[in-house]
Structure 1
Amino acid sequence: MDDSLPLDQNTLWNGAAGENWVAQQTLLDGLFQPMADALRDELPVTVTELLDVGCGTGASTLSAAAARADAHCTGVDISAPMLGLARQRAAAIGRGIDFIVADAQRHPFATAHYDWIQSRFGVMFFEDTQAAFANLHRAARTGAGLRCIAWRSAQENPFMTTAERALADQLVLPARVPGEPGQFAFADGERVRRLLQRAGWQDVDIAPLDLTCFLSRDALASYVGQLGPVGLALRALPAARAEALLQQALTAFAPFIDGDRVRVETACWMIRARA
């Protein structure tokens, strides 16, 4: 069995990026709570076996488990550090949730096992998206529901690229290539629809989901300085240089400041399909 992703993704999420998400779990859970709520609201009362793809530190899995106490929940993610925290969180509330360190594109899930598959920002990083959705379709029972939340385009989510744009002439950052694995890989909704249909999913519906999220103003420096491509780049610099660039980037977030909070208008897709 080979559950590995290409080296760059596997190394990233089992190294600095995964460790940063663990360290910033409280901040990120608060910021993306509206997405966890949106997924929870989609849950049918009849769900018995739920799979949460790219579950990270477990927020969306725990939300589903709390909403459907009789359902057995499983989370899958490539990041061992993030799943380590997810297991701790599940144990702390006494829930028997399974967490699998694996690439959902390749992992041999039991055939026709799950009656609900969900993901909050976990499906945009596959090496081969169609193959991943085909593997998930194989794991789904006939009639099973699929619900995924993914980002739309970078242009529709200016907050997410503010730091990159502010420091574009100061840092060498990885290029964002349309359609390639990454945060905005699902920007083209029609392309995603075709991939799902080719993978065997039916009744595919891809609808805009616009949500307002909030971040504590005091937490903005941690968000910018620790997370994403800018955070990774800053952590590799001498401390004084990193701090100077961080302060430069923070000034660019002025349009998003709302009192003691940072207001983030997000543009996502709610992806619905049936096996």
Structure 2
Amino acid sequence: MADDAAANAAQAEYWNTGAGETWAEMQDILDRQIQPLGAPALKALAVKAGERVLDIGCGCGQSSLQLAEAVGPEGQVVGVDISRPMLEVARSRAMGPVEFREADAQTADLGHGSFDAVFSRFGVMFFEDPAAAFANIRKHLKSGGRMAFICWRAPQESPLMTAPMIAAAPFLPPQEPMDPLAPGPFAFADPERLRGILQGAGFTGVAIEPFEAKVGSGDLEQSVAVAFRIGPLGRAIREHPDKREVVTDAVRAAIAPYVTPEGVRMPAAIWVVTATVE
């Protein structure tokens, strides 16, 4: 777990129980869904052969394997995550110059100035103390090192994340209002807040660029099944499993307009964030 057991304790529990187990179980489907969103950050990072790269929130390892292919046999990729179930999958897939560590990037000592680059695909929005986390991440970069990651924009811009929950909400008990600054998928929706955190942590050349894509996890029934396991609706159904049957038709109707000949494709809106270290 984390070097400091108190840091991110709630997130560690969440990602080592239902959520982490679900992501591990559905790895193939979810990799297919989010890979197109990670692509622009991989391109922006422009990893070179022989480099040493840190992948934060590596999950089941797909992005780490992509980075390992880029750095080649003379380089190294270290993927870190707090989710044991997902790391088990990542380690079973490991090939080439990649290793996976159970560690919390907010507090872990992964080697001062030992990485050329840092990457993350939806792995940096869950820190209890993002200012401390990014200051710690910066320490691991060499002088002239660079970082690229993706995070979600405002919830209403991503029907992929919100449409199922909106459809189900009338049938569920009232949900606690979301704290926009709390650890979670949309913690960095405000680009100016994010810019301030990164600059305060010592990063320079911060750029936050919008990116949109239509992504999906299969046909209509597969997409409904994923919605009941992942994201805001997935969490709500884990808390109220008796409501699953009553909301199914509403969720299916919300997703149906996004069916295409290639399967369901729903809009997703992210920030592609890049920064450097002097």
Is TM (by shorter chain) over 0.5?
yes
State the one-letter code of the partner of 1:129. Answer: P
Aligned to 1:230: 233
Q: Quick check: 188-197 or 64-73, which moved more?
A: 64-73
**Which residue is 1:19 aligned to?**
21
What does residue range 232-251 of structure 1 map to in structure 2 within 5 Å? 232-237=235-240, 241-251=243-253
User: Residue 171 of structure 1: CA displacement?
Assistant: 2.1
Name the counterpart of 2:157.
156
Q: CA deviation at 1:64?
A: 1.0
Supply the distance in 2 between the matched residues of 1:190 and 1:196 (Cα, whole angstroms): 10
Q: How far did 1:236 drift?
A: 4.8
Paired residues of 2:55 and 2:120 also in contact (CA < 8 A): yes
CA contact (8 A) 1:36 1:63 kept: no
Q: How does 1:48-197 map to 2 (within 5 A)?
A: 48-69=51-72, 70-90=74-94, 94-172=95-173, 173-197=175-199
Q: 2:268 and 2:233 mapped to 1: Cα distance?
A: 19
Q: Which residue does 1:6 correspond to in 2?
A: 8
Distance 1:32 1:4 in 2: 30
Residue 30 (structure 1) aligned to one of 27, 32, 53: 32
Q: CA RMSD in A?
A: 1.8
Asked whether the equivalents of residues 112 and 138 of structure 1 are also in contact (C-alpha less than 8 Å), the reply is yes
Task: State the Cα distance separating 1:216 from its structure 2 match.
Answer: 1.1
Say whether the 8 Å CA contact 1:36–1:59 is kept in structure 2.
Answer: no
CA contact 2:41–2:273 (8 Å) conserved in 1: no
User: Alpha carbons of 1:4 and 1:58: their partners in 2 closer, same or farther (altered >3 Å)?
Assistant: farther
Per-residue deviation at 1:237?
4.4
Give the CA deviation at 1:63.
1.0
Deviation at 1:46, TM superposition (A): 5.0
Inter-partner Cα distance in structure 1 for 2:62 and 2:176: 28
- Name the CA distance, whole Å, in 2 between partners of 1:45 and 1:152: 29
Does the CA contact (< 8 Å) of 1:208 and 1:270 recur in 2? Answer: yes
Distance 1:238 1:153, change over 3 A: closer
Offset, 1:103:
1.3
Overall identity of the aligned pairs, in %: 37
Q: In structure 1, which of residues 205, 208, 216 is the aligned counterpart of residue 207 of structure 2? A: 205
2-structure distance, mates of 1:238, 1:3: 30
Deviation of the 1:11 alpha carbon:
1.0
Distance 2:7 2:20 in 1: 14
**1:44 and 2:47 equivalent?**
yes
Whether the aligned pair in 2 keeps the contact of 1:179 and 1:187 (CA below 8 Å) is no
Larger mean CA deviation between 162-171 and 52-61 belongs to 162-171
* Structure 2 counterpart SS, 1:215: coil
Q: CA deviation at 1:214?
A: 3.0
Q: Tell me the amino acid that sits aligned with residue 75 of structure 2.
A: A
CA shift for structure 1 position 23? 1.0
SS at match of 1:272: strand
Letter in 2 for 1:87: R
- How many residues are aligned here? 271
Pair 238,271 (structure 1): closer, same or farther in 2 beyond 3 Å = closer
Gap runs ≥5 in structure 1: none
Give per-residue Cα distances to partners, 1:3-36, cap 9 Å, x unaligned: 5543321111000000000111111110111123
Residue 222 (structure 1) shift: 1.9
Alpha-carbon separation, structure 2, partners of 1:38 and 1:62: 16
Give how far 1:190 is off: 1.0
